[in-house]
């Protein structure tokens, strides 16, 4: 009986370790057009450790994202990074993204952006290259809710844009 337990453990242990060692690189960005407010509201959810690793490589800075005792420069670098990696075109024109703020939820950072004064949307295009420069297998899920239409896209390194026509 003891031999069987050891054998089962010897077979299962490597399988369990290989599953936990693999990491998925993904972010989720939700975009909603709120017609009454003439506003496109964007929420990006990013794993904090992935973002910290990216900032170390990109800015050669060791920035720690934490709700307590966070350096002021974290917000400055985060806003710069988001505006560099997320591009929105509305009706063929590049939109001005406004960084609203961030929130922490365990190991995920919620980033809030907005495009103000949007009267109507005939075409909407978004490019999301968050973390592509750090992880080859990064995937960015984009969920759009515009003019009553819902669409989801998975953006990858070679396919980083999503577009809707109305």
**101-160 per-position pLDDT tens digit:** 999 999 999 999 999 999 999 999 999 999 998 888 999 999 999 999 999 999 998 888
- Asked if the structure places residue 144 within a domain, the reply is yes
Indicate the range of 9-13, 50-54, 129-133 predicted with least confidence: 9-13
Determine which helix (DSSP H) or strand (DSSP E) holds 69, and give its type and residue range.
none
Structure pTM? 0.83
Indicate the range of 31-35, 87-91, 112-116, 133-137 predicted with least confidence: 133-137
- Asked if the structure places residue 140 within a domain, the reply is yes
- Using alpha carbons, list the distances in angstroms from residue 93 to 116, 118, 120, 121, 124: 14, 12, 13, 11, 9
Q: Using only C-alpha atoms, what is the Rg of the chain?
A: 20
- Asked if the structure places residue 10 within a domain, the reply is no
Q: Among candidates 44, 73, 46, which has minimal Cα distance to 59?
A: 73
- Asked if the structure places residue 6 within a domain, the reply is no
Q: How many domains does the chain have?
A: 1
Q: Which domain holds residue 158?
A: 23-165
pLDDT value at position 77?
Answer: 94
**What SS3 class is residue 152?**
strand
């Amino acid at each position: 009986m003891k031999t069987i337990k050891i054998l089962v453990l010897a077979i299962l242990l490597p399988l369990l370790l290989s599953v936990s060692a693999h990491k998925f690189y993904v972010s989720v960005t939700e975009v909603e057009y709120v017609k009454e407010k003439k506003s496109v509201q964007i929420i990006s959810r990013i794993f904090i450790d992935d973002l910290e690793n990216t900032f170390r490589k990109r800015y050669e800075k060791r920035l720690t994202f934490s709700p307590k005792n966070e350096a002021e420069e974290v917000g400055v670098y985060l806003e710069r990074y988001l505006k560099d990696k997320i591009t929105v075109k509305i009706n063929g024109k590049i939109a001005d993204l406004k960084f609203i703020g961030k929130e922490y939820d365990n190991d995920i950072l919620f980033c809030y952006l907005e495009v103000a004064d949007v009267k109507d949307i005939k075409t909407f295009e978004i490019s999301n290259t968050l973390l592509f420069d750090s992880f080859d297998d990064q995937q960015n899920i984009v969920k759009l809710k515009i003019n009553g239409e819902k669409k989801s896209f998975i953006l990858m390194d070679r396919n980083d844009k999503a577009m809707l026509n109305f």
